[in-house]
Structure 1
Amino acid sequence: MNDLRQLRHFVALAEHSHFARAAEAVHLSQPALSRSIQALESSLGCNLVDRHSRGFSLTAHGQLVLEHARRLLAGSRALSNAVSQLGNLASGELHLGAGPYPAARLVPQAMGRFAERFPRVRMQLLIDNWQQLRTRLLDDEIELFVADTRELAADPRLRVEPLQEHPGVLFCHPLHPLLQRSALSMQDLLEYPLAGTQLPDAVADALRQTAGVNEFLSIQCDNFMVLKELVSSSRVLSMAPWDVIAHDVQAGRLALLRLSGLPGMATSAYGIVSRAGHSLSPAAEQWQQIVRQQDRDSVIPTLTLPRG
């Protein structure tokens, strides 16, 4: 292979699962795309796709090549970005990731600051749980991310920089029936559905032991904006770090619950995560600095828990 075009064509075919749609995506005719895939198979000495009456499927070799092709293409993009940004930040792309809670406040605020300073750099943000973000980072699909780091700190492949901690809180609709009770127990809480993002193992285990149930969450969703809307329009309960709902509570859109006789909920564990031993692009370096500054500058209303 003299360049990465054949790999790009193959990745497009795998992602679109259709020759015509893939050809359109890479601006080729369908016969030209077929010839490119055949040339790639010839150069590698193996079949990448099994063609049949209903279309095609990837062979075992195809699955392996797809995995490596994505990494090579991501590396090529990263190299181009780093070179184009070396002299200045007047161009290029920045691929970022964020966990559900940082994506609800800290990350968009930092993105706004970055966009004001470097308006010609295009940003792409992936929101997901920490497990998927780690995979995307190690596959070079994103350059760094901000997320819960409890399950990541011991991974030698990662560089983790902790950010501010925020207390965890339980919240509900401002007219929720539980707010009328003078003291709440875990059994009171279990009368209603509880929604949340994917929990770190340590947090999930502690909650399961405290509640005495195998599955603590009734609804799991890694989009926190969806969770807030769910809570604000129903009797579903949820939990989150204080910083992402503080202004909603202050404005009366959400309310806090307190469980009597139980320890406080875990604090957040946000951190900036990148690959250990890898240099960041100039854009990513600037982004990291802005996240740090935004984290220090953030003004969060004081947490005042209801009596109970």
Structure 2
Amino acid sequence: MTLVQLRHLISLAQSGSFTRSAEALFLTQPALSRSIRALEEELGQPLFDRVGRRSILTPFGAETLQRARQLVFDADELAGSGLVLREGRSGTVRIGLGSGPGAMLMTPLLKMMAKSHPTIHIEVARGPTDMLARRLRERELDALVVDVRSLSPAPDLRVANVVEMRGAFMVREGHPLTRWKGVLRFDALRQFPIASTPLSDEVARTMVERYGPAAHPSECVTLRCEEIPSLVDVVRHSDAVLIAIRTAAPDLVELVLKPAISATARFGIVTLARRAEPPALSIVRKLIAELMHD
């Protein structure tokens, strides 16, 4: 038995006429007759009594009609759900956000989902890149948005939608360093607490090349956590110096050092290779394109 046969049964029950049903279904009458006859043979009982030119449901046919309608309805619902999922209008997406992407994406992403995609379930996880990568591999997360330089390359990981954003040293307005006379060098920053999220090895190497061994994050950073918004708030209300992507704190004052830091973060979406992506992930890709740029 097929859904096509069940649809033929429903149509014939509604019209009572092979001729009218065949026309409505764009079939020939012999083709519709063969379909109904094959269904009756498979079920082992007649579905219709032929009364003159009308076809009337038998008691068994009436019971079968109810079940056929439910089966066709469920099949149509399933097909509709598949379309909704393919178009990213339903389903679940579980995203892991690193510190930089979390500062820029988490609130806008949640707001957008609440306003524009209320039927989609979204779960956001925060944490160190290595922990998020482990959860991705364990299929607890569908995708990550992290600094890909902090991620160990691996054949089971796929990286896409990569964007580079420049880093900077930043302080509050009125900070003593904003009134610095002469060339501002890294040593002057070390008079104050330095705040940062965990930095990639590449950024650490760049800082050491520019400013010497004392500039290695393990040496100079005194305030370290994964949450950039918390660090930004600390810097707004103290003399601490923030190392972060410039866009994360547009209200802070950027310090111009000699030499310039010239370091960037490289953010991207990380998924498991050879694993189907949830359709709603396209929404995250679009938001990255809109928000993650200098």
User: What count of residue pairs does the alignment treat as equivalent?
Assistant: 208
* 1:173–1:232 contact (8 Å) kept in structure 2: yes
**How far apart in 2 are the matches of 1:264 and 1:113?**
34
Runs of 4+ displaced beyond 6 Å: none
* 2:207–2:261 contact (8 Å) kept in structure 1: no
Cα offset for 1:231?
Answer: 0.4
* 1:97–1:145 contact (8 Å) kept in structure 2: yes
Query: Which of 213, 226, 241 is 1:237 aligned to?
Result: 241
Query: Which of 211, 220, 223 is 2:224 aligned to?
Result: 220
- 1:101-151: per-residue Cα shift (whole Å, max 9, x none)? 111123432443344332122211111121111111111111101110013
* 2:164–2:293 contact (8 Å) kept in structure 1: no
Can you give the 5+ residue segments of structure 1 that lack an aligned partner in the other structure?
Answer: 1-82, 249-253, 302-308
Cα offset for 1:195?
Answer: 0.9
CA gap 1:230/1:98 in 2 versus in 1, 3 angstroms: same
CA gap 1:115/1:153 in 2 versus in 1, 3 angstroms: farther
Write out aligned runs for 1:64-103 (5 A): 86-89=82-85, 92-103=91-102
- Indicate the residue corresponding to 1:291 in structure 2: 284
- 1:158-182: per-residue Cα shift (whole Å, max 9, x none)? 1101432221111011111111113
**How far apart in 2 are the matches of 1:212 and 1:101?**
25
* 1:100–1:128 contact (8 Å) kept in structure 2: yes
Cα offset for 1:91?
Answer: 5.2
Report percent identity of matched pairs: 27
Can you give the 5+ residue segments of structure 2 that lack an aligned partner in the other structure?
Answer: 1-78
Higher-helix-fraction structure: 2
Q: Normalized against structure 1, the TM-score is what?
A: 0.61
- Indicate the residue corresponding to 1:270 in structure 2: 267
- The structure with the largest alpha-carbon Rg is 2
Q: Normalized against structure 2, the TM-score is what?
A: 0.64
* 2:197–2:224 contact (8 Å) kept in structure 1: yes
**How far apart in 2 are the matches of 1:292 and 1:270?**
12
CA gap 1:224/1:93 in 2 versus in 1, 3 angstroms: same
Q: Secondary structure at the match of 2:131?
A: helix
- Indicate the residue corresponding to 2:134 in structure 1: 135
Q: Partner letter of residue 84 of structure 2?
A: N
* 2:170–2:253 contact (8 Å) kept in structure 1: yes
Write out aligned runs for 1:15-30 (5 A): none
> Quick check: 181-190 or 112-121, which moved more?
112-121
